[in-house]
Amino acid sequence: DGGITQSPKYLFRKEGQNVTLSCEQNLNHDAMYWYRQDPGQGLRLIYYSQIVNDFQKGDIAEGYSVSREKKESFPLTVTSAQKNPTAFYLCASRIQGDYIQYFGAGTRLSVL
């Protein structure tokens, strides 16, 4: 099945800990995105990548880091510098020339 897979579905972070959220796609899409969703605030862009080995900051990049070593993978690390990480994180991808973004099922991150 083609699609976008996010894992884990639920993740818990301890104080001072870095955690990594996985996003894998087998759609052969060029661009990948990470969004954060808080209740009542819609989605906000954290980072995006148009091609392998290149990525740009979105509107709320502080406290997060990403890498794009492979076309199909775009992991997001929530660092200890992110003081309010509790949220629903969504990964998306699209093919160049097509504006529609396809979303994964999300990862819900909570702080212990």
Partner 1 sequence: KQEVTQIPAALSVPEGENLVLNCSFTDSAIYNLQWFRQDPGKGLTSLLLIQSSQREQTSGRLNASLDKSSGRSTLYIAASQPGDSATYLCAVGDRGKLIFGQGTELSVKP
Would you tell me which residues interact with partner 1 (CB under 8 A)? 4, 6, 31, 33, 35, 40-45, 48, 50, 58, 88, 90, 92, 94, 99-106, 108
Burial of 72 (0-12, 13-18, 19+ CB in 10 A): middle
For residue 73, what is the DSSP state? B
> Nearer to partner 1 by C-beta: 19 or 92?
92
CB 61 within 8 A of CB 46: yes
Minimum distance, C-beta of residue 96 to partner 1, in the bound complex (Å): 9
> Nearer to partner 1 by C-beta: 49 or 82?
49
> Nearer to partner 1 by C-beta: 8 or 81?
8
> Nearer to partner 1 by C-beta: 100 or 112?
100
> Peptide bond before 8: cis, by omega within 30 degrees of 0?
yes
Can you read off the two tokens belonging to residue 8? 């884990």
Minimum distance, C-beta of residue 9 to partner 1, in the bound complex (Å): 9
DSSP 27-38: S--SEEEEEEE-
Minimum distance, C-beta of residue 61 to partner 1, in the bound complex (Å): 13
Residue found by looking up tokens 């906000």 in the block: 44
Minimum distance, C-beta of residue 67 to partner 1, in the bound complex (Å): 19
